[in-house]
């Protein structure tokens, strides 16, 4: 295995392990538990789950691999704070979205070749990418893995 393949495998292994951790945690949390605040005056679990689905949905655009599956989640989970939107999707609906989206991303990521990960993502211009090649698709996975881990740490507080 060459260095490029090794680097991609390391990053994707961490991504997949983080998703598995989140899946396991979500199985332990009831829909009622997701209605609770992480701490007094803080986000509820349901908001964090919707937020994660919306952020991962954005990855389809960022990576140039498709359109959003759940654009309706943008407003309540990315543009508004928790409790600003009264009518959120149910926890069961968000769990279903999470599972479908995770499976979709997994299939797409598995089909990508190692070199594909070092191409520019859609938010960086060709000019900027020429001088900043680290602004690539693999870097998106790194930042989203860190983001996911942060919110897993919050969701654990609902146990």
Full set of structural domains in the chain with CATH? 13-158 (1.20.120.450)
Q: What is the pLDDT of residue 17?
A: 98
What number of CA atoms fall less than 13 Å from residue 112's CA on the CB side? 21
- Does the pTM of the predicted model rise above 0.85? yes
- Taking alpha carbons only, the member of 36, 47, 152, 58 closest to residue 90 is 47
b/e 59-72 (16+ beta carbons within 10 angstroms → b): bbebbebeebebee
Q: Which two tokens stand for residue 26?
A: 């979500």
At how many degrees (to 10) do helices 45-62 and 91-111 cross? Answer: 30
Sign of the alpha-carbon torsion through 38, 40, 42, 47:
positive
Tokens 């899946």 found at: 23
Name the DSSP letter for residue 67.
-
- pLDDT given at position 1: 76
| Residue 131 exposed, middle or buried by CB count within 10 Å (0-12, 13-18, 19+) | exposed
Over its length of 159 residues, how does the chain's per-residue pLDDT go in tens digits? 799 999 999 999 999 999 999 999 999 999 999 999 999 999 999 999 999 999 999 999 999 999 999 999 999 999 999 999 999 999 999 999 999 999 999 999 999 999 999 999 999 999 999 999 999 999 999 999 999 999 999 999 999
Q: What is the full DSSP assignment across 112-156?
A: S-GGGGGSB-TTS-HHHHHH-TTSBHHHHHHHHHHHHHHHHHHHG
């Amino acid at each position: 295995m060459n260095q490029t393949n090794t680097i991609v495998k390391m990053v994707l292994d961490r991504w997949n392990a983080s998703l598995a951790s989140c899946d396991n945690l979500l199985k332990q949390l009831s829909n009622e538990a997701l209605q609770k605040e992480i701490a007094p005056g803080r986000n509820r679990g349901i908001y964090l789950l919707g937020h994660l689905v919306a952020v991962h949905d954005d990855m389809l655009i960022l990576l140039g691999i498709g359109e959003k599956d759940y654009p309706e989640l943008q407003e309540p989970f990315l543009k508004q704070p928790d409790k600003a939107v009264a009518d959120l999707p149910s926890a069961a609906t968000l769990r279903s979205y999470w599972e479908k989206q995770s499976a979709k991303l997994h299939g797409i990521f598995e089909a990508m070749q190692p070199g594909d990960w070092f191409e520019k993502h859609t938010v960086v211009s060709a000019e900027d990418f020429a001088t900043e090649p680290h602004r690539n698709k693999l870097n998106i996975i790194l930042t989203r893995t860190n983001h996911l881990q942060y919110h897993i740490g919050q969701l654990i507080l609902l146990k």
